[in-house]
Amino acid sequence: MSAADRIARALFGFYMVAFFLYLFAPLAIMGIATFNTSRFPTVTPWRGTTLQWFDALWSDSGMWQSLWTSFIVAFFVVITVLPIGTAAALVLTSLHARARSFMYAVMVSPLLTPGVVIGIATLVLWRQLGVGGGVFLIVVAQASFIICYVMLMITARLQRFDPTQEEAALGLGASKFMVFRRVLLPFLKPALIAAGFLAVLQSIENYNTTLFVRGFDTPLTVYIATKVRTGLTPAVNALALIMIAITVFGAIAYEIARRRGADGGGVAVQL
């Protein structure tokens, strides 16, 4: 190995360490700060180890209220985006090439629109109709772009669909509705589950759009951001730690399920 190679190797090793440190150190520090008695979340100086911030989180009624709001929003977002996203994918795939690429551009345009703009546009339209910010508008605004993700995932799945299945069912006397219900929907089921999962995550994590249409309702992300400005304590870190733990377990479980399925029709969650 030449000297240049050794230097390159060392540089690359340094890069790898730095990359993962950059990725995980902030999260690790945020998590560890939960156990420090210090009122402002930090790890330096360490004032003593405690679990008191979990208690503080547990008895924080505002947090529970905002968590509940986020769940309600996520629930309505999912039941809105799955049917519309599926319909959009089916309409899109039934178009001819030219019309299809135009429609495609129209349908992905919300993904290329800044989140704050989506929130503002929704807000001004509904004010004109006499509806102010609140859970309803949060659902409408979030759904308008989460539908894009559903549409993309369903479209990807549809590309692997074998239309002769439908023809066979029709030939055996099934109605068109029955073919949709018994052939196409079951085929789409894995993609629908993955899309629903993604929609929940997107909904709960959204901040930029939600901020403008929330009215007097406070979903979890807004609650956390407000806490940071008005009185951050490690109770918020406890919440973050719990969310990280759920995420890690979820990601690992998903990976295990995916490997066990070994391409048994599973759809990779792409973003």
Partner 1 sequence: MSELYRRFGGGLGTLFLALVGVWLAGMVLAPNVMMIDYALRPNLPPSQLGGPEDVYSLDNILYLANEGVHRAIFFKTVWASALVAFITFLVCYPMAFWLAQHATVNQTAVVLLALTIPFWINEVLRTLAWYILLAFRGPLNAFLLSLGIIDEPVRWYGDGGVLAGMTYAYILFMLFPIYNAIESLDKSQIEAARDLGASTWRIHWRVVIPHAKAGIATGCVFTFMLAAGSYVAPALLGAPGSRWFTEIIYNWFFEGGDWNRGAAYALVLLVLCLAVVLVTLRIARVSLTEVAK
Token pair of 49, please?
A: 């180890």
251 binds partner 1 (CB under 8 A): yes
Q: Which is nearer to partner 1, 69 or 221 (CB)?
A: 221
> Which two tokens mark 18?
């730095």
Q: Is 56 in the site for partner 1 (CB under 8 A)?
A: no
Q: What is the token pair recorded at 259?
A: 């490997």
Region near partner 1 per CB under 8 A, out of 53-61, 71-79, 103-111, 188-196: 103-111
Would you count residue 8 as binding partner 1 (CB under 8 A)? yes
Stretch that binds partner 1, among 54-62, 71-79, 100-108, 188-196 (CB under 8 A): 100-108
30 is a contact residue toward partner 1 (CB under 8 A) = yes
The interface region with partner 1, picked from 50-58, 61-69, 116-124, 188-196 by CB under 8 A, is 116-124
By CB under 8 A, what part of segment 161-180 binds partner 1?
166, 175-177, 180
Q: What are phi and psi of 114, to 5 degrees?
A: -60, 140
Site for partner 1 in 67-96 (CB under 8 A): 83-84, 87-88, 90-91, 94-96
> With respect to partner 1, which residue has the nearer C-beta, 53 or 212?
212
- The sign of the dihedral angle between the CA atoms of 185, 159, 167, 266 is negative
* Window contacting partner 1 (CB under 8 A); options: 47-55, 61-69, 117-125, 187-195: 117-125
Q: Report the alpha-carbon distance of residue 105 to residue 148 in Å, rounded.
A: 11
**Which residue among 183, 224, 235, 238 contacts partner 1 (CB under 8 A)?**
224
Give the number of other CB atoms < 10 A from CB of residue 109: 11
| Distance set, CA 205 to CA 142, 219, 222, 232 (Å) | 11, 10, 10, 19
- Binder to partner 1 among 131, 136, 201, 266 (CB under 8 A)? 201
Sequence-distant (≥ 6) Cβ neighbours of residue 242 within 8 angstroms: none
Q: How far apart are the C-alpha atoms of 22 and 35, rounded to whole Å?
A: 22
- Pick the binder of partner 1 from 37, 59, 101, 165 (CB under 8 A): 101
Helix (H, G, I), strand (E, B) or coil at 36: strand
